[in-house]
Structure 1
Amino acid sequence: MTLVLCLVGAAALVALGAFALLRARWMSSFVYGGALLVCGAMFVASVQNLFAAAPAEALTLPLGLPWLGAHFRIDALSAFFLAIVNFGAAGASFYALGYGRHESAPGRVLPFFPLFLAAMNLVVLADDAYAFLLSWELMSLASWALVMAHHREGDNARAGYVYILMATLGTFALLLAFGLLGGADGDFGFGAMRGHSPGAGVAGVVLALALMGAGSKAGLSPLHLWLPLAHPAAPSHVSALMSGVMTKVAIYAFLRIVFDLIGPAAWWWGVPVMAVGAATAVVGVLFALLHNDLKRVLAYSTIENIGVVFVALGLALAFETEGNGPAAALAMTAALFHVLNHSLFKSLLFFGSGAVLTATSERDMGRLGGLLNLMPATGLFMLVGAAAISALPPLNGFASEWLIFQAILLSPSLPSWSLKLEIPAVGALLALAAALAGACFVRLFGVSFLGRPRSEAARAAKEVDRFSLGAMGALAALCLAAGVLPGSVMDALGPIVEKLVGARMTTQAGLGWFAIAPIAESRSSYDGMLVFLFIASSALLAAVVIHRVASNATRIAPAWDCGFPDPDPATQYTPESFAQPVRRVFAGFVFRTREKVDMPAPGELRPARFELSVQDLVWDALYRPVARGVLAVADALNKLQFLTIRQYLSLVFAALVLLLLVLAVWT
C-alpha cells in the first residue's frame, strides 16, 4: 500500500509541475502548497512503513522497455531514504511559501521544482536499472534547470554547464555498473542481479564505477568541482534540496549497488572508500574556510560531510568482510545517522542563508555583520545549525560523528595490517576535518551575524517572513531532539542496518536516561539528555549569578576597544584575515592562492587594497588537461563532417563489424 501511495504521489508531483506551466499570480502558493501536502503524505507513509517493519512491496508497471516493464519496490532501506527525501521536500516547500514570493523568475522555477521532487522519489523506488537510470537522469535534468533559473547572473551559466557534464559522467558510470551486474543475459531487474554474483574482478570494477557514478552526484573528491558552483547558483530552497537531499539519493545509490546488488564484498573494498572519504572531508572543509560567499561555504561543507559518511561506509565494509558484525553494524548506524543529521542541519543552514539573502541581497560575508540584532530569530536558528554541523554536543552532529570515532577505535580487532594502518590515519584526518569545521562555522557566524554591519544593506536588514522562520525553527528543534535522544534514532535504524551488513546494534532504549552505549556501558557511553541539562542549567546559573549577585543593576557600557575607539566597521576581522593562518599552512598542498597587496606610499590618501584568489589544484591537474584533450580530439574529428558518401558508408560498415566482434567476445 505504501508503494502505491508513493507512486501516486510522484505522479501527482509530475502533474503539478505540468500545471505550473500556466502563468498566474497564485501559482507559486499553489505549487509549493501542493508539493507540501503530497510530500508530507509520502513522508508519513514511509515512516509508518519503516517503524512497522513492513515486508517489502513490489510492483511492475507496463512502462519502459517492452520486455522488462518498470519495476518498483520499497523495503527498509528505500523507506528510510524516502522519509529523508520527502521530509526535506516538505520543509523546502513550506519554506518556499514565503521565500518564493521574492523569486524574480518564478516561471523558471515552479515547473521544475515538483518534477525534481518526483524524480528523487522515483530513484529510491526503482527496482530495475532502466527505471533507476531514467529517474536518475530526470533528477539531474530537473535540478540543472533549477540551477539555470538565474543563468544571466554571475557565473551561473558556467555552473550549469559544469554540472550537466559531471551529471553525464556519473550516469555513464552507473550505466556501465548496471551493465556489468546484468551480465551477458542482460537481465536488468534488481531481483535478478541479486541472484547471481559477478566474479571478483568484475565486482571490483563495479565498486569503482559505483564510487564514480554515485560519488560524482554526492560530491566526492576529485569529482566535487560542480557542487560548489551549482548549489549556490540555485534558489536557496532548491540549494537546500540539492545539498540536504539529492546528495543522500546519491548515497542511496551507492548503498543499493555495493551492499545489496553486488554480492559478497572483498576485504579490500573498504580501503579505497575510506581513503576517498577522508580526502573529501579534509578538502571540503579547507575550501569552505577560504571562501566568502555564504552559500558556497555551505556547499563546500556538504562535500566535507559526504566524506564523513563515506568513511563510515568504508568502515562498515571493512568490518563486515572481516566477520565483525557488531562493529560493522556500529559503522553503518553511524553512516545512516549522519545522513539523517546532515539532511537536517544543512537544510537549516541553506534556509538561513536564503533568509539573509532576502533581507540584505548579499551573500558575501565581508559585506554582512551585525545581523543578530536585526534578525534575532534567524541568527538563533543559524547558530543552532552552525553548532550542529560543527559536531558540538548536545546537538545531532556530535552524536553521529561520535559513533564514527567509536567505530574507528575498534580497528585494532581487524586482522588485516593494511586496514590497521589506514583506519587510524583516516581517524586523524576526520579529527582534523572536525576541528577545521568548527573554525569554519565560527568564522561564518561571527563575521555574518556578530560585530557591526559592514554595508548599508546589512544595516537595513529586517527579519524574514513567518513561513521561513517556521521551517528554520522546526529544523533547529529536530537537530536538538536527534542529539538529545540519539538512542531512539539508532534503534529505528536497526532493521536497515541488519539488512545491509547482516547484524544490528543492541537495543539502546533499555539503558535508561536516554543514554547510548554503542559497544558496552563499561567501555563507552553518552547521554545527550544529561549533557543538555548540564549545559542549560550551567548557562542559567551563570546568568543568574552575573545579573543578580555580581551587580544590583544592569549596566550598559561600550565594549572594551583596546584604547582605539574607532567605530569604523573596517577595523573588524574580515573573512580573509580569519582564514589566513589555515590558508598559509595548506597553500600549495591542497590549493594554490595568490595574494596581491596594494599598499599606498606614505602621504598618499588612497586606500590600501588586498586581493586574494584561490585555485583548486584538482582542476589544474585533472580537469584542465582533459578539457584540452577533448578539444584537440574534437578538432581532429571535425574532418568527419566533410567525408564523401562512400567514406561514410565505410565508417558505418567498420563500426558494425567492430560491434559484432565485441559482442562475440562478450558472449
Structure 2
Amino acid sequence: MALTLILACIAALFLLAPVAITIRAGAVARPVVYGLSATACSILLIAAAPTLLGGDTLVQILPLGIPWIGAHLRLDALAAFFLVVVNLGGAIASLYAIGYGRHEAAPERVLPFIPAFLAAMNLVVIADDAFVFLFAWELMSLTSWALVMTDHRDGGSRHAGYVYLVMASFGTLCLLLAFGLLAGSHGGYSFTTMRLSTLATGLQPVLLLLVLLGAGSKAGIVPLHVWLPLAHPAAPSHVSALMSGVMTKVAVYGLIRIVFDLAGPTAWWWSIVVLVVGAITAVLGVLYALMQHDLKRLLAYHTVENIGIIYIGLGLALAFQANQMAFGAALALTAALFHVLNHSLFKSLLFLGTGAVLTATGHRDMERLGGLIHRMPVTALTFLIGCAAISALPPLNGFVSEWLTFQAILLSPALPQWGLKFLVPAVGASLALSAALAAACFVKAFGVTFLGRPRSPEAAVAREVDVFSTGTMIGLAVLCLLAGVLPGLIVDALSHAVAELAGGTRLPPQSTLPWLSLIPVSAARSSYNGLLLLIFIVCTASLIAVAVHRFASRAVRRAAAWDCGFPDASPATQYTAGSFAQPIRRVFGRLAFRASERVEMPEPGRLEAARLHVKVHDLIWQWLFVPIAKAVNVASIRLNRLQFLTIRSYLGLVFAVLVILLAGLALWQ
C-alpha cells in the first residue's frame, strides 16, 4: 500500500508539469504548482517513514521498461531514508517558492520543471533495476539542467548549463558501464539478480572507478566538482537549495546502493580510494569557498566540502566492513547518513537565506551587502543558525555527524592494514582542518553580509521578505537545532538502514538513555548531550547578559567606531570579504590556487586610491578540463572526415566494429 501511494504521488508530480504549462497566468500557476508539489512531497515523506522505522521491505514490478523484465521498484529502509531527505527538502523548497516565485522573471521556465525534477529524484531512490534507475537519473539531470538554464539569455547561465550537461552525461555513461559490469554477460539488469552474482576480481577496480566517476560527478567530488560553482549561481535560489541539499544526496544514494548493496563483498583497498577522495574533496572544497565573494558560489563550494565529509564516513565504513569489524562499519555508516540529513537541512537553509538577501537587495556579492541584521532580522538569525550548523558548532546538527565521524576514526587503530593505520589519522586531520576553515569561512559570510554598515544603496533600504520565505527558514533553523539537541532519536531512526548495509549490525538504542544522551561506543570512551549543552549555553548567556546590563552598562560610553583616520564614516573603511580571506589565501594560495597579488600604490602627494589586484586560479579546471576540451575539439575535427566516407567504407567500418564487439564478448564469457 505504501509503495502504491508513493508511485501515485510520483505520477501526480509528473502530471503537474503539463498543468503548469496549461495555466498561463503566473500568479495563479505559482501557488497551485508549488502548493501541490509541497503536498505531494509531504505525502511521500509520511509514506516512507514506516519503512524507515522498521517496516517491511516492499517490492513491485510494473509492465514497463525493458521487455520481459518490467520496471522493478523497491522500498527498503535505505530507500525510505533518502525518500525522507528528498521530500523534506522538496516540501520546504516548494513552500519557500510560493513567496520567492513572485520575483521570478520567467516563471514559465521554472514551474513545469520543478515537479518533474522532484518526481525524478524520488524515482531514482525506489528504482530496483538498471533501466529504471538510469532513466530516472537522466530525467533528473535534464530537468535540473532546464532549471539551471532559466535565464538562458545570460552568457554565464548558458556556459553553466553546458558544463553541467556535459558532466551529467559523462556521469550517466559511467553508471551505464558500471551496471553493465554488474549485470554480466547474462544481462541480469534487475538489482535482485545483481545481488546474487559475483563480480570477477579483475573487474572490481574498474567498477569502483566507474561508480566514483558516475555518482561522484553528480555529487561534486574533486575533481568532478566544476559544475557546482557555475550551476548554483545560475539557478533560482530554491532550485539551488534542491540541487545542493537534495540532488547531491541522491548521488550519494547511488554510490551507497551500488558499493554497499549490489557489488557484494569488497576489498579493503576500496576504502583507501574513497577516503583519499573524501579528504581531498573536503579540504579543497572549503579552501575554494574561502576565496569566494559571491554567496551562492561560496555555498556551492561548501557543498563540495560536505560531500567530502560524507565520503570520509563511507570510506571508513568500507574499511571496517572489509575487516569484519561490523560495529565500526555501523558507526561510520550512521555518521555518513546523519551528515546526509544534516547537510540537506543547513545547506537548504543557507541557500534560502541567500535567496532572501538576493530578493531584498538584488545582490549576491558580499562586497555590496552589509548591515542587513537591522533590516532583515529574521533572515539574519536563521542564516546565523545555518552558519553555526555548517561550521559544526554544538549544540546544532552539523556537530553531531562530524563528531560521530571522529568517533569512527578513533576506532581505526584496530584495523590490521598498516596503510589504513597511517591513512585514517591523516584523514582525521584533514576533517579537523576543513571544520576549522569552514568556521572561518562562515564568520566571513555572516559578518560581511549582515554586520557593519551597508555597502550599497540597495542594502541600506532592504526589507524583510515575505512570510512564506521567513516561515520556511525558521522551520529549517528549528530542525537544525532539534537534530543537534535530540540526535539519539535520529540515530535510532537510521538503525534499520544501517543494519541493511552493515550485515545486521547497528548502534545500541540511544533514545532511551538518560537526558537524551548520545553514547555511540561506551560512556567510558565518549558521550554527547546536546540538551544539557543547550541548557548550559542559554543559562550562561542569560546570566552574562543580565550582569552586563545591570552592572556594566552605566560605565559604557558610546562613540563612533575608529575610522582609520578618515573624518567621514564610510563603509569603505570596513573589513571586506577579501580581508577575511587574505591570511588563508597567503598560506594556501600558492599551492591550491596559484594565487597572485599585485599592489598599485600612488606616489606620495597623489590622491588616487591604492589598489590591490588578486588573481585566484582553479588549477583543476586549467590543468584537467581545458586540455580535455582541446583534445576533444582536435579529435572531432579529425573524425569529421568520417561523414564523407563511401558506402563501401561505411560497411567495412561497421563490420570491423562488429567483429571487435563479438571478440570482446567472447573473451568476457
Alpha-carbon distance change, 11 to 338 in structure 1, aligned in 2, over 3 angstroms: same
Alignment of 1:326-405 (within 5 A): 326-405=327-406
Tell me what 1:11 maps to. 11
> What do residues 389-446 of structure 1 show as CA deviations (whole Å, max 9, x unaligned)?
0000100000110111111111111111010000000001111101000000000000
Tell me what 2:199 maps to. 198
Q: Tell me, what secondary structure is at the counterpart of 1:611? A: strand
Tell me what 1:501 maps to. 502
Q: Tell me, what secondary structure is at the counterpart of 1:72? A: strand
**Deviation for aligned residue 1:557:** 4.5
Matched residues in 1 for 2:201 and 2:648: separation?
45
Contact 1:547 1:554 in 2 (8 A): no
**Deviation for aligned residue 1:606:** 3.3
**Deviation for aligned residue 1:28:** 1.1
**Deviation for aligned residue 1:647:** 2.1
**Deviation for aligned residue 1:202:** 1.8
**Deviation for aligned residue 1:565:** 5.4
> What do residues 462-509 of structure 1 show as CA deviations (whole Å, max 9, x unaligned)?
100000000000000000000001111111111111110121111112
**Deviation for aligned residue 1:59:** 0.8
Matched residues in 1 for 2:587 and 2:6: separation?
50
Matched residues in 2 for 1:660 and 1:429: separation?
47
Q: Tell me, what secondary structure is at the counterpart of 2:581? A: helix
Asked whether 1:41 is paired with 2:43, we answer yes
Match for 1:609 among 604, 608, 611? 611
Q: Give percent identity, aligned residues only.
A: 61
> What do residues 600-633 of structure 1 show as CA deviations (whole Å, max 9, x unaligned)?
3334333333332321111122111111111111
Tell me what 1:28 maps to. 30
**Deviation for aligned residue 1:554:** 8.7
Gaps of 5+ in 2: none
Alpha-carbon distance change, 628 to 441 in structure 1, aligned in 2, over 3 angstroms: same
Alpha-carbon distance change, 185 to 292 in structure 1, aligned in 2, over 3 angstroms: same
Matched residues in 1 for 2:446 and 2:265: separation?
46
Contact 2:51 2:75 in 1 (8 A): no
**Equivalent position amino acid for 1:7 in 2:** L
Matched residues in 2 for 1:21 and 1:561: separation?
55
**Bigger shift: residues 598-607 or 116-125:** 598-607
Matched residues in 2 for 1:559 and 1:34: separation?
51
**Deviation for aligned residue 1:30:** 0.8
Q: Tell me, what secondary structure is at the counterpart of 2:265? A: coil
**Equivalent position amino acid for 2:368 in 1:** R
> What do residues 123-144 of structure 1 show as CA deviations (whole Å, max 9, x unaligned)?
0010000000000000000000
Alpha-carbon distance change, 15 to 152 in structure 1, aligned in 2, over 3 angstroms: same
Q: TM-score, normalised by structure 1?
A: 0.98
Tell me what 2:118 maps to. 117
Contact 1:547 1:553 in 2 (8 A): no
Matched residues in 2 for 1:513 and 1:561: separation?
50
Q: TM-score, normalised by structure 2?
A: 0.97
Matched residues in 2 for 1:410 and 1:80: separation?
26
Tell me what 2:178 maps to. 177
Matched residues in 1 for 2:623 and 2:663: separation?
36
Q: Tell me, what secondary structure is at the counterpart of 2:67? A: coil
Alignment of 1:148-547 (within 5 A): 148-153=149-154, 155-502=156-503, 503-547=505-549
**Equivalent position amino acid for 2:115 in 1:** P
Asked whether 1:632 is paired with 2:637, we answer no
Matched residues in 2 for 1:581 and 1:548: separation?
39
Contact 1:244 1:342 in 2 (8 A): yes
Q: Tell me, what secondary structure is at the counterpart of 2:149? A: helix
Contact 1:36 1:91 in 2 (8 A): yes
Matched residues in 1 for 2:439 and 2:346: separation?
14
**Deviation for aligned residue 1:553:** 9.6
Provide the alpha-carbon RMSD of the alignment: 1.4
Matched residues in 2 for 1:362 and 1:86: separation?
29
Contact 1:368 1:454 in 2 (8 A): yes
**Deviation for aligned residue 1:265:** 1.5
Asked whether 1:578 is paired with 2:580, we answer yes
Q: Tell me, what secondary structure is at the counterpart of 1:592? A: coil
Contact 2:563 2:573 in 1 (8 A): no
Q: Tell me, what secondary structure is at the counterpart of 1:171? A: helix
Tell me what 2:591 maps to. 589
**Deviation for aligned residue 1:62:** 1.1
> What do residues 366-399 of structure 1 show as CA deviations (whole Å, max 9, x unaligned)?
1111110110000000000000000001000001
Q: How many residues align?
A: 666
Matched residues in 2 for 1:352 and 1:258: separation?
35
**Bigger shift: residues 540-549 or 69-78:** 540-549
Matched residues in 2 for 1:430 and 1:228: separation?
22
**Equivalent position amino acid for 1:38 in 2:** A
**Equivalent position amino acid for 1:607 in 2:** A
Alignment of 1:643-662 (within 5 A): 643-662=645-664
**Deviation for aligned residue 1:585:** 1.2
**Equivalent position amino acid for 2:534 in 1:** F
> What do residues 230-273 of structure 1 show as CA deviations (whole Å, max 9, x unaligned)?
11211000000000000000010001000100101111111110
Matched residues in 2 for 1:18 and 1:599: separation?
60
**Equivalent position amino acid for 1:2 in 2:** A
Tell me what 1:99 maps to. 100
**Equivalent position amino acid for 1:665 in 2:** L
Contact 1:600 1:608 in 2 (8 A): yes
> What do residues 304-353 of structure 1 show as CA deviations (whole Å, max 9, x unaligned)?
00000000000011111111111111111000000000000000000000
> What do residues 267-297 of structure 1 show as CA deviations (whole Å, max 9, x unaligned)?
1111110000000000000000001000000
**Equivalent position amino acid for 2:541 in 1:** A
> What do residues 195-218 of structure 1 show as CA deviations (whole Å, max 9, x unaligned)?
112122223321221111111100
**Deviation for aligned residue 1:656:** 2.4
**Deviation for aligned residue 1:665:** 2.4
**Deviation for aligned residue 1:567:** 1.1
Asked whether 1:642 is paired with 2:644, we answer yes
**Equivalent position amino acid for 2:582 in 1:** Q
Contact 1:412 1:420 in 2 (8 A): yes
Matched residues in 1 for 2:660 and 2:337: separation?
45
Matched residues in 2 for 1:649 and 1:328: separation?
54
**Bigger shift: residues 72-81 or 501-510:** 501-510
Matched residues in 1 for 2:340 and 2:95: separation?
22
Matched residues in 1 for 2:325 and 2:171: separation?
32
**Bigger shift: residues 222-231 or 150-159:** 150-159
**Deviation for aligned residue 1:21:** 1.1
Tell me what 1:90 maps to. 91
**Equivalent position amino acid for 1:201 in 2:** G
**Deviation for aligned residue 1:552:** 5.7
Matched residues in 2 for 1:205 and 1:419: separation?
22
**Equivalent position amino acid for 1:261 in 2:** L
Matched residues in 2 for 1:198 and 1:494: separation?
28
> What do residues 129-187 of structure 1 show as CA deviations (whole Å, max 9, x unaligned)?
00000000000000000000112235111111110111011111100110000011001
Q: Tell me, what secondary structure is at the counterpart of 2:60? A: strand
**Bigger shift: residues 606-615 or 211-220:** 606-615
Q: Tell me, what secondary structure is at the counterpart of 2:525? A: coil
**Bigger shift: residues 596-605 or 340-349:** 596-605
Contact 2:51 2:57 in 1 (8 A): no
Matched residues in 2 for 1:224 and 1:415: separation?
33
**Deviation for aligned residue 1:515:** 0.8
Matched residues in 1 for 2:658 and 2:413: separation?
55
Matched residues in 1 for 2:567 and 2:49: separation?
57
